[in-house]
């Protein structure tokens, strides 16, 4: 686990440097339409609708304080994608080596004489082969064995013909990173989903979901404003796909293994407790679950112990280590929810920042590992 954390921290540092450069190189965006104001963050600019009377942002608002949250999430997802891609390549290489060893073993077993005939038959066959070899040399004195020949015994088939060397027809295929799908269950303005689509090269597609119709319309406008609309909608699918609906309903509808997401991001207003059960079920095996909880007054304070128990299954306390205790409570809630479905979580990065906690865990289907959690 230490090497995974080191890679996460290195990726976070590099990505923060990249984000600072992106801010200096501001992209050219079209002017905001009447009734909208623009908000720039890293590579993305979003539109925020203004109220006609007070000229203030409407309900679908953006929280600039959590820009670090989004920067951190992009870095963590990139690191997870790199780790997962390396794991897939190692697994593919191990399977290929195993199949090759099995094939060589079968070929060797087919060429070797059968021991069922006894040692006498084996000696007789060896003597016969030597006599045959001697007669061949006498009848063809000009044919000599080349000691510099590069053809080995393993490269010859049963008929004595050289085997065709195994050549990778597509050498770039193995080096191409594995793309993944993602879900932002509570998208609001769509800023996070759009930044993921623009700044994470290995992202195949992401669904930006929100229950509010006004928020969904704003997400669509921001996608167009950032040039992420497909050139030909009839043949090409959008990288950022918009969905209007209840977050839990959407996640429960993606519980089937062929419909699950590789990355699920929960960034609610307040606690993420109502969404955890659905989230752990729609994450693919080996996928990443990103969770934000902004109710540190409940998690790290002493004023609402009953509320903390109802949300996370434990009571809060006011102490020097209260923020660490808050992280452990959320992780425990994630672990207990995942364990009901034979899934085990592995915390990769857990932070308490300002007024919220941000946690990244990998989700693996492993009933045997779940049983070890009791110890």
Q: Per-residue pLDDT averaged across 363-374, rounded?
A: 90
Bigger pLDDT: 229 vs 140: 229
Averaged pLDDT, 15-28: 55
Residue 38 has pLDDT above 70, yes or no: yes
pLDDT of residue 307: 94
Tell me which range, 24-38, 98-112, 122-136, 211-225, is most confidently predicted by mean pLDDT.
Answer: 211-225
Where is pLDDT greater, at 41 or 152? 41
Per-residue pLDDT band at 82 (split at 50, 70, 90): very high
Distance between CA 212 and CA 219 in Å, rounded? 11
pLDDT interval class at 35 (50, 70, 90): confident
User: What percent of the chain clears pLDDT 90, i.e. is strictly above it?
Assistant: 53
Q: Which residue has the higher pLDDT, 8 or 243?
A: 243
Compute the mean pLDDT over every residue in the chain, rounded to the nearest whole number: 81
Alpha carbon distance 203, 193 (integer Å): 11
The band of 50, judged by pLDDT with boundaries at 50, 70 and 90, is confident
Q: Is the pLDDT of residue 10 over 70?
A: no
Q: Which tokens belong to 218?
A: 């704003």
Stated length of the chain: 375
- Which of the residue ranges 23-37, 82-96, 104-118 would you say has the lowest mean pLDDT? 104-118
Lowest mean pLDDT among 91-105, 128-142, 215-229: 128-142
Angle between helices 322-339 and 305-312 (to 10 degrees): 30
Whether residue 148 is predicted with pLDDT greater than 50 in this model: the reply is: no
Look at 368 and 29; give whichever has higher pLDDT.
368
Cβ atoms of residues 209 and 250 within 8 Å? yes
Distance CA 213, CA 354 (A): 31
Tell me the pLDDT tens digit for each residue of 211-243.
Answer: 999 999 999 999 999 999 887 777 678 999 999
CA 353 to CA 363: how far, in whole Å? 23
The model's pTM is 0.76
Q: How far apart are CA 266 and CA 293, in angstroms?
A: 9
Mean pLDDT score, 288-315: 94
CA-nearest of 286, 42, 251 to 178 is 286
Closest Cα to residue 184, out of 268, 255, 252?
A: 268
What value does the mean pLDDT take over residues 95-117? 67
| 37, pLDDT greater than 50 | yes
Q: What is the pLDDT of residue 321?
A: 93
pLDDT value of position 54: 55
* pLDDT value of position 302: 86
Per the DSSP assignment, residues forming a β-bridge with 360 are 290, 349
Q: Provide the pairing of β-strand 44-49 with 36-41.
A: antiparallel
- Burial group, residue 346, by CB count within 10 angstroms (0-12, 13-18, 19+): middle
Q: What is the predicted pLDDT for the residue at 143?
A: 44
187/268 Cα distance (integer angstroms): 9
Domain residue extents for the chain: 64-82+178-374
Assign domain 64-82+178-374 to a CATH class: alpha beta
Q: Does the pLDDT of residue 17 top 80, yes or no?
A: no
Question: Using one digit for the tens of pLDDT, what is the confidence trace for 150-181?
Answer: 444 444 555 555 555 454 555 445 567 889 99
Q: What is the pLDDT, as a whole number, of residue 91?
A: 83
């Amino acid at each position: 686990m230490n090497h995974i954390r080191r890679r996460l921290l290195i990726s976070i540092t590099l990505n923060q440097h990249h984000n600072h450069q992106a801010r200096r190189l501001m992209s050219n965006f079209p002017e905001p339409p009447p009734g909208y104001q623009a908000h720039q963050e890293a590579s993305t600019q979003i539109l925020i609708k203004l109220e006609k009377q007070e000229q203030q942002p409407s309900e679908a608002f953006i929280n600039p304080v959590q820009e670090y949250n989004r920067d951190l999430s992009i870095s963590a997802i990139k690191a997870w994608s790199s780790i997962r891609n390396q794991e897939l390549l190692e697994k593919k290489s191990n399977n290929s080596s195993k199949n090759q060893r099995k094939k060589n073993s079968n070929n060797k077993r087919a060429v070797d004489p059968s021991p069922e005939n006894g040692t006498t038959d084996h000696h007789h066959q060896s003597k016969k082969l030597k006599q045959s070899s001697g007669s061949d040399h006498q009848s063809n004195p000009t044919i000599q064995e080349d000691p510099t020949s590069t053809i080995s015994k393993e490269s010859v088939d049963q008929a004595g013909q050289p085997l065709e060397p195994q050549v990778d027809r597509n050498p770039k295929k193995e080096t191409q990173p594995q793309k993944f799908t993602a879900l932002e269950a509570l998208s609001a303005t769509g800023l996070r989903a759009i930044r993921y689509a623009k700044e994470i090269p290995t992202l195949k597609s992401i669904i930006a979901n929100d229950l509010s119709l006004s928020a969904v319309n704003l997400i669509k406008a921001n996608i167009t404003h950032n040039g992420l609309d497909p050139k030909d909608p009839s043949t090409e699918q959008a990288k950022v796909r918009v969905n209007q609906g209840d977050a839990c309903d959407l996640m429960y509808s993606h519980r089937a293994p062929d419909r699950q997401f590789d990355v699920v991001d929960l960034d609610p207003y307040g606690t993420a407790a109502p969404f955890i059960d659905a989230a752990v079920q729609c994450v693919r095996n080996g996928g990443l679950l990103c969770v934000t909880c902004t109710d540190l007054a409940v998690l790290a304070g002493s004023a609402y112990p009953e509320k903390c128990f109802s949300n996370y299954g434990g009571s809060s306390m006011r102490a020097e280590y209260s923020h660490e205790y808050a992280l452990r409570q959320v992780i425990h809630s994630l672990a207990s929810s995942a364990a009901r479905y034979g899934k085990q979580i592995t915390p990769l990065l857990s932070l308490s920042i300002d007024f919220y906690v941000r946690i990244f865990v990998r989700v693996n289907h492993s009933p045997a590992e779940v049983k070890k959690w009791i110890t």
